[in-house]
Structure 1
Amino acid sequence: MATIARLTTTAALDLGKLEYRFDQRGGPTVVMFHGGHMHAGLALGEETFVDAGYSVLVPSRPGYGRTPLSTGTTTSGFADVVRSLCDHLGITRVAAVVGISAGGRTAMATAARHPDFVERVILQSAVGPLPWPDTRTRLAARLAFGPATERLTWSAVRAIMRTAPDVGLRMLFGDLTALPARQVMTALSAEERKTLIELFSRMRSGRGFRNDLAAGREGVDDVTQPTLVIASRNDGSVPFAHAERLASTIQHASLIESNADSHFIWLGHDWPSISGKICDFLAA
């Protein structure tokens, strides 16, 4: 697992301005919708597709990075924006849409609204049609990531990661795992620690995360493509019940249970095996 900051660009589409990154490799295209606090300039969980030769298109969802909240705003609206971006780039069909965490709703909306454009759906630690997040987390998020506090919150996180990374990781893992945070940290390799410190030091919420909290639950019943749902019971951010509901609601869905210690399924010891199953799923 490696998180590396990447250069992005913007497109002025009829439906609005959009930030994106398109890493072309000659193979079919996979569109990745990152979760909360992420933007197109961060590469996370892409190695499976990169190693298999897929081209990877990563848009910044509304309110994140340089994509204004007015571009798309809703999951269904942004699904149309992404389809417009693909037309702009000359992409006529995508091998899969990949929805991570809060980005799962956008992936499902894109598949539902454009069934002839999207071949398959992959949902990783994704938010499903259940209420999310819980009331305590929702209230805390509104305080920490409000217009007047978001910049201060992430400035504080960066300062902690620079001066006391163990404290910072333990604090953040408190919301990402159902296990004791110290136990999860102990299991991290030096490379994984470095990657996570870099990731948390580069995250921003902008106006995007508050928009995620207000997102609806549309799209799940209308997904007709083959769908792979991957999640861990140790996820402290998106409960495993979301994965179970997604797998039982989407017509052609199958569920893979990860043994990862947290929301970050790419850190699980079984990730190489799961990665292989993703490649098999895409090639089927």
Structure 2
Amino acid sequence: MAATLFDTAKGIVEYSYEGNGPTILLFKGGHCTRDTDLSHSSLTYEGYSLLTISRPGYDHTDISTGRSAEEFSQTVIKILDHLKIRKTSVIAVSSAGPTGIALAVHHPERVEKLIMESAVTVPWDIGSKRKAKVLFGPSEKFFWGSIKTLLRVVPDMVIKQMLEELTTENVDHFYDQLSPNDRRFIFDMLTTAQSGKGFSLDINHGVADMSKIQAPVLGMYSHKDNSVPYSQALLLKSTVPSCEIYDVKSDSHLIWIARVPKMCGTND
């Protein structure tokens, strides 16, 4: 998608806006860049317009546009105003959960629906923060450069190591069950990944009071997610006034690649 740079009072924000029809606003998750497509681009073929806004620290979006999820939600409103979008449905992926929640809480008149895809609903714990700072702090370019080099040499090993963080299943068994298309999905996701300064902001985001969300919420989560535990889905369900949880039949955090359910009457 072609990127647009929008100059706000707080700095530059990168976004892309394509398609025709009702607008869906997408906040990608941690380590995702403009080139990372977790299947959301297909929404433009389903009759929707897809507005993808890069969060602070990712792509060309300045961190000054919002060090907190609440602060960035105010910047997002400036973009919606610029594009004359009165109200939109919102998809928040993984680490973008606090951003989607902040927008729904602080600007309820602009959010029609909120879809949380494997999305974070609680602040990060201290142990996870420490690990993230080591891997994705000042050395993040070296880390991702090494990953992408190894992907060209030993892709199976790299993907399995990554899956250790994303699934509660036995990784070897899980990997063996993946289709060629699923493996390509993960490979492409990793080759387009970059943390920039964005992930360092993500791990320090607070979460707004979800009980104040007025829009209906759909949470899509996997019981076998090792990155965002299913308990976060239960918290979302028990806190938001109007919330439905869809249990994705996926064996990992990557709910966009999932087991195809068998038809009634077939054998397991």
Q: TM-score, normalised by structure 1?
A: 0.88
**Counterpart residue number, 2:133:** 142
Report how far residue 37 of structure 1 moved. 0.4
**Counterpart residue number, 2:198:** 208
Task: Give the whole-Å Cα distance in 1 for the aligned partners of 2:13 and 2:41.
Answer: 24
> Judging changes above 3 Å, is the alpha-carbon distance between structure 1 residues 244 and 166 closer, same or farther for their aligned structure 2 residues?
same
Alignment length, in residue pairs? 262
Task: Give the whole-Å Cα distance in 2 for the aligned partners of 1:142 and 1:118.
Answer: 32
For the aligned residue pairs, the C-alpha RMSD in angstroms reads 1.7
Is 2:210 the counterpart of 1:220? yes
Task: Give the whole-Å Cα distance in 2 for the aligned partners of 1:42 and 1:88.
Answer: 25
Report how far residue 48 of structure 1 moved. 5.9
> Judging changes above 3 Å, is the alpha-carbon distance between structure 1 residues 123 and 69 closer, same or farther for their aligned structure 2 residues?
same
Q: 1:170 pairs with 145, 151, 160, which one?
A: 160
**Counterpart residue number, 1:196:** 186
**Counterpart residue number, 1:124:** 117
Task: Give the whole-Å Cα distance in 1 for the aligned partners of 2:67 and 2:156.
Answer: 36
Q: 2:55 pairs with 61, 64, 67, which one?
A: 61
> Judging changes above 3 Å, is the alpha-carbon distance between structure 1 residues 244 and 270 closer, same or farther for their aligned structure 2 residues?
farther
**Counterpart residue number, 1:106:** 99
Q: 2:24 pairs with 24, 30, 38, which one?
A: 30
> Judging changes above 3 Å, is the alpha-carbon distance between structure 1 residues 270 and 15 closer, same or farther for their aligned structure 2 residues?
farther
Report how far residue 83 of structure 1 moved. 1.2
**SS of alignment partner, residue 228 of structure 1:** strand
Task: Give the whole-Å Cα distance in 2 for the aligned partners of 1:208 and 1:40.
Answer: 13
Q: Percent identity?
A: 32
Task: Give the whole-Å Cα distance in 2 for the aligned partners of 1:174 and 1:126.
Answer: 18
**SS of alignment partner, residue 116 of structure 1:** helix
**Counterpart residue number, 1:154:** 144
More displaced 10-residue stretch of structure 1: 42-51 or 82-91: 42-51
1:111-153 residue CA offsets vs partner (Å, 9 max, x unmatched): 1111111111111101113x43x44432221111112x11100
In structure 1, stretches of 5+ residues that fail to align are 1-5, 272-284
**Counterpart residue number, 1:12:** 7
**Counterpart residue number, 1:279:** none
Report how far residue 41 of structure 1 moved. 3.3
1:234-261 residue CA offsets vs partner (Å, 9 max, x unmatched): 1011000000100110000011111201
1:134-185 residue CA offsets vs partner (Å, 9 max, x unmatched): 44432221111112x1110000110111110001100100101111121221
* Residues 112 and 224 in structure 1, CA contact (< 8 A), matched pair in contact too: yes
Amino acid aligned to 2:218:
L
> Judging changes above 3 Å, is the alpha-carbon distance between structure 1 residues 71 and 150 closer, same or farther for their aligned structure 2 residues?
same
**SS of alignment partner, residue 116 of structure 2:** strand
**Counterpart residue number, 1:236:** 226
* Residues 37 and 189 in structure 2, CA contact (< 8 A), matched pair in contact too: no
* Residues 63 and 209 in structure 1, CA contact (< 8 A), matched pair in contact too: yes
1:52-90 residue CA offsets vs partner (Å, 9 max, x unmatched): 211111111111111111111211111111111111122
Task: Give the whole-Å Cα distance in 2 for the aligned partners of 1:47 and 1:64.
Answer: 18
**Counterpart residue number, 2:72:** 78
Amino acid aligned to 1:75:
A
Task: Give the whole-Å Cα distance in 2 for the aligned partners of 1:83 and 1:122.
Answer: 18
More displaced 10-residue stretch of structure 1: 189-198 or 260-269: 189-198
**SS of alignment partner, residue 193 of structure 1:** helix
**Counterpart residue number, 1:3:** none
Q: TM-score, normalised by structure 2?
A: 0.93
Task: Give the whole-Å Cα distance in 2 for the aligned partners of 1:233 and 1:49.
Answer: 26
